Amino acid sequence: MLVRDAMSTVVLTIGPTHTLRQAAALMSARRVGAAVVHDPDAGGIGILTERDILNSVGVGQNPDTEPVHAHTTTDVVFATPSWTLEEAAGAMSHGGFRHLIVLDRGEPAGLVSVRDIIRCWAAAPPRRHAEQLSA
């Protein structure tokens, strides 16, 4: 199964000057755990996750004044729609993150999360062992 089969194609995109509270409200309303941050001045495409907001609030920063750009991850690992779910899961495991921005021809085409991958794998028929196949 490929990333294109699992990814969400409706992507929340926010700007770098949104506050963390605005980002959290938008993410909550859309029921998503991450948003693509489009910031042409800081290199283009980044990601803000619920963990970023939680960490900011946890250290006492004010979500009403704290700007998204101060918490955006810009050193992003991008997937392509043709990656396998195994490749996406490996990149997430290696990098220690739960979301990947999916780029198609250099533009955000979707997001894939650990939850998306688990949903697909849970719905797939179980794999049979090699011994069972040769019997």
**Could you tell me the residue range of the domain that residue 53 belongs to?**
3-125
**Shortest CA distance to 111 belongs to which of 19, 68, 49?**
49
The two structure tokens encoding residue 1 = 């199964």
Report the number of distinct structural domains present in the chain: 1
**Shortest CA distance to 26 belongs to which of 16, 35, 17, 38?**
35
CATH code for the domain in which residue 100 is found:
3.10.580.10
102-122 pLDDT tens trace:
999 988 999 999 999 999 998
11-69 pLDDT tens trace:
999 999 999 999 999 999 999 999 999 987 777 899 999 999 999 999 999 999 999 99
Q: Residue 58 domain-assigned?
A: yes
CA–CA separation, 82 vs 74, rounded Å? 23
Output the pTM of the full model: 0.84
